[in-house]
Amino acid sequence: MRRHLVAGRARSAGQRRIGLMGGSFNPPHEGHLDIARQARRAGRLDEIWWLVSPQNPLKTTVGMAGFTARLAAARRLAGATGWLKVPDIETRLAAHTGGRKPWVTVRLLDRLAVMQPRSRLIWIMGADNLASFHLWYRPQQITRLADILVLNRPGFAAAALTGPGRALLGRRVPAGLLGRGRGRAGRQTSCQTGCQTGRQRRWAFIHASRNPSSATGLRAAGKGL
């Protein structure tokens, strides 16, 4: 439990390559674990953080379990895997807004760039998310705050690779090169201090990941939280 509580709460003293997986995790499932394992291996990541969203602004609240239940379930699924952490950072940062607006991805990444100035952040998403990436809040700003690692999902590869979201990602590179050499001295830079200064945007796509598990399917089968 301590590794979950400590993650993201203080500035990092050392340089790490951190993969960030955001989502509702309603409920968390083996597909999330499979994506995390493949992303860690392909991207040569030191850690992966599951960032459980209090409420995705693009999703309905109908059928959405409470944040506390989803966070606890994600931590149970992570188990004793030392490199996989499930901090409560999104709800803590969202509290700073006083409930006036959702804590969207770009604000989260901007804050993490300040909190983890020596770490290299890689945003991990499934191909289903890339298909709708152009609908996210300030998607181009997201690509300037972190490299993007996309993992294939059954039935979404074609839409993801030919859709408008793909055009926002920049140059495609091998997954092992993500997070290397970004920003001054190889560090991430927050938008408050210059994410719009023309830094190269990079992304990678992993075709091999095709785990069919989905939270929607589990809820439909009565296996939600």
Interval 100-113 mean pLDDT: 77
Rounded to a whole number, what is the distance in angstroms from the first to the last CA of the chain? 20
User: In sequence order, what E strands does the chain have?
Assistant: 17-23, 47-52, 84-85, 120-126, 147-151, 171-172, 202-206
Residues 222 and 225: their CA atoms lie apart, in Å, by 9
Residues 225 and 203: their CA atoms lie apart, in Å, by 33
Q: Of 131 and 99, which is predicted with more confidence? A: 131
Residues 199 and 208: their CA atoms lie apart, in Å, by 29
For residue 54, cis peptide bond before it (omega within 30 degrees of 0):
no
Give the chain's mean pLDDT: 79
Output the six-digit token pair for 146.
């972190």
**Which pLDDT belongs to residue 186?**
44
- Amino acid at position 143, single letter: T
Spell out the SS3 assignment of 126-162.
Answer: EHHHHHCHHHCCCHHHHHHHCEEEEECCCCCHHHHHH
pLDDT band for position 103 (cuts 50, 70, 90)? low
Residues 20 and 18: their CA atoms lie apart, in Å, by 6
pLDDT band for position 3 (cuts 50, 70, 90)? low
pLDDT per position as a tens digit, 5-33: 666 555 555 678 999 998 888 888 888 88
- Domains of the chain from N-terminus onward: 2-220 (3.40.50.620)
pLDDT per position as a tens digit, 157-205: 888 889 999 999 989 999 999 988 654 434 456 565 445 444 678 999 9
Among 221, 220, 215, which residue's Cα sits nearest to residue 25? 215
Lookup result for tokens 């409470």:
66
Output the six-digit token pair for 74.
């994600």
Residue 133 neighbours by CB under 8 Å, 6+ apart = 125, 139, 165, 166, 168, 169
**Which pLDDT belongs to residue 51?**
92
